[in-house]
Chain A
Amino acid sequence: QVQLKESGPGLVAPSQSLSITCTVSGFSLTSYDISWIRQPPGKGLEWLGVIWTGGGTNYNSAFMSRLSISKDNSKSQVFLKMNSLQTDDTAIYYCVRSSSYDAMDYWGQGTSVTVSS
């Protein structure tokens, strides 16, 4: 069955970088786009960016200067890297699959990231 699972550091110090890995199963990264979405505690959903089947990317301009998304198709892994984290980057980070009809049909469980010294 389709699964996405994020793994992250949990705690990041201010000004440091964040790296999260999304490992997928049940489908190929060469067939589906993957987005990263985050949700601050008690707040709504914010789309960060997408990596397309061919490896191209599109980023939310609010994060473009410090966000990078990449993938390794052979390992079924997608990577998020965000630099210069601040306390307002504290959130649950989700990796999400886009369906063939472009809506987001499968979500990972999310990984909680706290930015604190």
Chain B
Amino acid sequence: DIVMSQSPSSLAVSVGEKVTMSCKSSQSLLYSSNQKNYLAWYQQKPGQSPKLLIYWASTRESGVPDRFTGSGSGTDFTLTISSVKAEDLAVYYCQQYYSYPFTFGSGTKLEIK
């Protein structure tokens, strides 16, 4: 199974600050035939189901604000929130869909100061 590791486990920032969180996979998620990274980011707000933010490591899902940016390739990935809003309070999960079983990172909890 591919192991997904996220860091930090939690962070607290003020509104307007820039946030960066990391996701690393135990093997490459880059599919050679199409040069796509099979990595997604999800946001789970308190009491809600997860919501897809980013797929193919860097493509924003329709309707996702452009302050959310995914980057990286291979085994190292980053989710950046350029200017945090209070509504971004959530746990953020990365997930690989390169191979079964699909696996998730343990999440980064974003708190607002």
Contact = CB atoms under 8 A, between A and B. Distances in A.
- Say whether A and B bind each other: yes
Interface of A: 35, 44-47, 50, 58-62, 94, 98-99, 101-105, 107-110
Interface in B31-60: 38, 40, 42, 49-52, 55-56, 59
Interface residues on B, range: 20 to 34
A101 B56 contact: yes
Given A50-B100, A58-B100, A60-B101, A45 B49 contact: no
Contact of A44 (B49, B61, B93): B93
B103 A94 contact: no
Contacts of A60: 100-101
A101 B106 CA distance: 23
B104 interface: yes
A47 B56 contact: no
Contact of B61 (A47, A98, A105): A105
Given A102-B38, A107-B50, A47 B101 contact: yes
Interface of B: 38, 40, 42, 49-52, 55-56, 59, 61, 93, 95, 97, 100-107
Given A60-B100, A103-B40, A107-B50, 7 more contacts: A44-B104, A47-B103, A98-B97, A101-B59, A103-B56, A103-B97, A104-B50
Contacts, number: 57
A104 B100 CA distance: 14
Say what secondary structure dominates the interface of chain B. loop
A63 to B, nearest CB: 9
Nearest to A106: B52
A106 B24 CA distance: 24
A11 to B, nearest CB: 20
Contact of B93 (A45, A58, A101, A108): A45
B106 A103 contact: no
Nearest to A59: B101
Given A101-B56, A102-B38, A47 B102 contact: yes
